């Protein structure tokens, strides 16, 4: 019956050694396309455990006879909000299939085996060896359910021949030629396969077979999907390389700001390099600032000493600098911090217009969150991030919010007078400023805390651990006024009222990034897209304006920035995933990549969205250490009586931890 081969693996093509992994288990993949180097064959590891520095998977030759096997090389308790080592392959379209795997669990503690109907690392069925025998589990986000068990005697000294057949809603399990159990469940109708477990296990061979009818169905489904996507692609402008800039020796990772530094229409970018200090990425210092014309690539000015080593591209935090016309003279300044000082620099020359010492670290470290080693590293504050806010009620934002990594906020006016300071549990990465009550003064939402314009705590969410990674505030649901949408790691995705009432909360992995846009224009309100990172990585969740999940899928890569893009001016926003030719491009609200990146040698590490040509449509900026490219549309903007000009996140408050949005707005052309 199952006589059509869909997949086979004996690991003979792999060299001995670790399956490619991020040895630092770093945050680079939060917003860089930073794939692990090395041969992966037809497999992908969607899991990272930052507390476990070694590889999860190792190619071994346990029999010393030249036979290669994939070995699970980690011990992991199956705890709630935790994820197990997983190595995935195959096609999520598979339905009725038969998986045959030759494997040898090396311990009877906990469990290990294979996954079927794998949709994501948080949604699948598992067939596992246990101390008592075999069991079938269902995983649905943080809920792990044992569907059925079978008492069977088995030995860690012998390889086991496991056959798992999925037919309709029935999962049948055979061991060493004997059927041992069958279970019915209708949660997952299709999915790929994966290796998975809690304890060391050797996998020798795998194959997946299907019926001819299933093969015919797959062929038809793939053809229909390709046809649908190709038809969609004809509806959108495609990417056209508009300009290329040699970054010489001043290139960096996603540490870039844009602005008008000379008071003209000419757009510039400022790129920052860094040096690390003390501990990981917690205390970096700007070591070089370079202001460059985005039109010509000409350096306007440079401060510090540039360098070309790879480390300048591998910072996983923000650097403290912004580009903004803080004195309202029509020319953008550069606001930056290094050497324990806060500077306002002339945008056209880089010369210091104003400076102040950063605050003293006076508080006992026991009273603060996130101070490593129990000591302040420096007498003065090493600024973690800068945001332009308006708590003093001026006609435009001119106040400066600065923060340390996780504990304290300070706000100064444009004359460097301290307005207020705030300390209470965790700050999160990048506090959000928004005038909720319409008095012309910003409230500050920081981590789980709502702070009024005078620095007083108004309310806090009843969550004691983790922190907000990204925040979006605005008119998401027409049934409400402004709402707050956040992702807070393993504390979940949340949709809040301005008074702190939680309208929706879903724990669907470690929520890392969030964006809001008109991704599905036929739907009511706006859509909310989130991604996951630490643990179960690379999962996209599309939600409606109520926070209800519309669909999810797992990218077999990291680094999706999920930035909304006004690409064609139609009012439908697209999503920038990454600059990867294989995994990136612009995605529509149904999850289809409608604008892929061409295989033209462009840099893939970083990407950003902004209107450069001035036609209200967005361009895509991509770069790495060596070069920066700008992509625009390959067709002219259609003529119409109205122009789509959505309200977007201001570039003068750039951050790698900003949630992004496109709030619809039309203007008369």
Using a pLDDT cut of 90, give the percent of the chain over it: 95
Q: How far are the Cα atoms of 27, 40, 283, 406, 643 from residue 560, in angstroms, in the given order?
A: 12, 20, 25, 24, 28
pLDDT tens per residue across span 595-634 = 999 999 999 999 999 999 999 999 999 999 999 999 999 9
Closest CA to 250 of 267, 270, 231: 270
Distance in angstroms between the alpha carbons of the first and the last residue of the chain = 63
**Banded pLDDT at 640 (limits 50, 70, 90):** confident
Q: Classify 79 in phi/psi space as left (phi over 0), alpha (psi -120 to 50) or beta.
A: beta
Residue 588 burial by Cβ neighbours in a 10 Å radius (0-12, 13-18, 19+): buried
User: Model-level pTM?
Assistant: 0.97
Closest CA to 508 of 539, 478, 529, 481: 539
- Rounded CA-CA distance 70/16 in Å is 9
* pLDDT for the residue numbered 50: 72
Does 358 score more than 80 pLDDT?
Answer: yes
**Banded pLDDT at 545 (limits 50, 70, 90):** very high
* pLDDT for the residue numbered 79: 85
Mean pLDDT for all residues in the chain: 96
Range with lowest mean pLDDT among 24-28, 294-298, 542-546: 24-28
- Rounded CA-CA distance 401/387 in Å is 5
Task: Select the more confidently predicted residue: 427 or 641.
Answer: 427
Other Cβ atoms closer than 10 A to 563: 29
- Mean pLDDT over 417-437 rounds to 97
Query: String of b and e for 184-221 (b: at least 16 CB within 10 Å)?
Result: eeeebebbbbbbbbbbbbbbbbbbbbbbeebbeebeee
Does 652 score more than 90 pLDDT?
Answer: yes
Cβ atoms 525, 542 nearer than 8 A: no
Number of Cα atoms under 13 Å in the Cβ half of residue 27 = 16
**Banded pLDDT at 25 (limits 50, 70, 90):** confident
* Phi and psi, residue 88, nearest 5°: -110, 150
- Mean pLDDT over 184-212 rounds to 98
């Amino acid at each position: 019956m199952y006589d059509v081969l869909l997949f086979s693996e004996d690991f003979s093509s792999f060299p001995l050694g670790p399956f490619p992994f991020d040895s630092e288990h770093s945050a680079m993949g939060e917003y860089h396309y930073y794939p692990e180097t090395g041969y992966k064959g037809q497999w992908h590891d969607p899991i990272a455990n930052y507390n476990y520095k070694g590889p999860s998977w190792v190619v071994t030759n346990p029999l010393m006879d030249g036979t290669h096997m994939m070995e699970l090389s980690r011990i992991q308790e199956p705890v709630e909000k935790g994820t197990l080592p997983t190595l995935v392959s195959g096609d999520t379209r598979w339905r009725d299939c038969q998986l045959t795997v030759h494997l040898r669990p090396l311990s009877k503690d906990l469990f290990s085996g294979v996954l079927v109907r794998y949709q994501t690392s948080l949604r699948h069925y598992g067939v596992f060896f246990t101390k008592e025998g075999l069991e079938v589990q269902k995983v649905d986000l943080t809920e792990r359910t044992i569907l059925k068990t079978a008492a069977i005697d088995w030995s860690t000294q012998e390889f086991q021949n496991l056959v798992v057949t999925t037919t309709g809603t029935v999962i049948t399990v055979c061991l060493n030629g004997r059927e041992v159990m069958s279970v019915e469940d209708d949660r997952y109708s299709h999915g790929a396969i994966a290796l998975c477990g809690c304890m060391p296990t050797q996998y020798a061979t795998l194959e997946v077979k299907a019926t001819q009818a299933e093969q015919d169905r797959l062929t038809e489904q793939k053809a229909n999907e390709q046809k649908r996507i190709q038809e969609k692609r004809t509806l959108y402008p495609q990417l056209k390389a508009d300009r290329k800039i040699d970054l010489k020796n001043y290139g960096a990772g996603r540490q870039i700001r844009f602005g008008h530094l000379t008071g003209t229409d000419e757009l510039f970018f400022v790129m920052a390099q860094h040096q690390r200090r003390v501990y990981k990425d917690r205390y970096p210092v700007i070591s070089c600032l370079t202001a460059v014309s985005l039109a010509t690539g000409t350096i306007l000015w440079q401060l510090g000493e540039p360098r070309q080593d790879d480390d300048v591209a591998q910072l996983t935090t923000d650097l403290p600098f912004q580009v903004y016309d803080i004195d309202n003279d029509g020319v953008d300044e550069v606001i930056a911090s290094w050497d324990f000082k806060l500077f306002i620099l002339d945008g056209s020359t880089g010369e210091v217009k104003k400076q102040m010492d950063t605050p003293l670290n006076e508080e006992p470290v026991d009273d603060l969150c996130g101070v490593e080693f129990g000591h302040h590293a420096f007498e003065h504050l090493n600024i973690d991030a800068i945001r332009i806010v308006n708590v003093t009620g001026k006609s435009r934002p001119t106040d400066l919010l600065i923060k340390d990594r996780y504990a304290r906020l300070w706000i100064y006016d444009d004359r460097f007078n301290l307005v207020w300071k705030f300390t209470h549990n965790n700050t999160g990465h990048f506090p959000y400023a928004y005038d909720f009550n319409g008095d012309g003064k910003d409230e500050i939402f920081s981590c789980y805390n709502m702070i009024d314009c005078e620095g007083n705590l108004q309310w806090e969410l009843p969550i004691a651990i983790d922190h907000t990674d990204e925040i979006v505030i605005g008119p998401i649901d027409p049934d409400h006024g402004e709402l707050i949408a956040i992702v807070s790691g393993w504390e979940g995705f949340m949709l809040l009222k301005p008074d702190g009432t939680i309208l929706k909360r879903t724990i669907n992995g470690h929520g890392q990034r969030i964006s809001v846009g008109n991704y599905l224009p036929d739907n009511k309100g706006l859509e909310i897209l989130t991604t996951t990172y630490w643990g179960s990585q690379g999962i996209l969740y599309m939600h409606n304006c109520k926070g209800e999940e519309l669909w999810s899928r797992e990218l077999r890569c990291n680094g999706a920035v999920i930035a909304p893009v006004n690409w064609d001016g139609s009012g439908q926003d697209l999503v920038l995933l990454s600059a990867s030719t294989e995994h990136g491009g612009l995605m529509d609200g149904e999850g289809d990549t409608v604008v892929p990146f061409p295989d033209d040698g462009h840099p893939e590490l970083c990407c950003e969205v902004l209107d450069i040509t001035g036609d209200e449509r967005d361009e895509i900026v991509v770069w790495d250490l060596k070069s920066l490219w700008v992509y625009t549309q390959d067709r002219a903007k259609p003529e119409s009586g109205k122009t789509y000009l959505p309200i977007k996140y201001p570039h003068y408050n750039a951050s790698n931890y900003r949630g992004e949005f496109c709030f619809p707005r039309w203007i008369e052309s």
